[in-house]
Structure 1
Amino acid sequence: MSDQENITPEVENEEQLAQEQVDAQATTEEAADDLVAQLQNEVAQLKEEVLRAQAETQNVRRRAEADVEKAHKFSTEKFARELLNVVDNLDRAMAMSPDDEVVKPFLEGIEMTHKSFTDTLAKFSVEAINPEGHPFDPELHQAISMVDAPDAEPNTVLNVVQKGYTNHGRLLRPAMVVVSKAAPKVDEQA
Structure 2
Amino acid sequence: MGRDRDFSEEVKLKCWDKADLIMGRDPARWRYDRIGTPVMKDFHGKNGLCGWQYDHDTPVSRGGTSELSNCQVMQTMANKSKSSRVHLPDRLAQSASNIQLNQEQRDMIEMAYYGNVHDETGTPICRCITKHQEAVGSIRDHIPACEVKEPMCPPCPKEKTRSQICCGDKQENFRRTVKNDDK
Q: Same fold (TM over 0.5)?
A: no
Q: TM-score range by the shorter chain?
A: under 0.3
Q: TM-score, normalised by structure 2?
A: 0.19
Q: Which structure's residues are more often helix, by fraction?
A: 1
Q: TM-score, normalised by structure 1?
A: 0.19
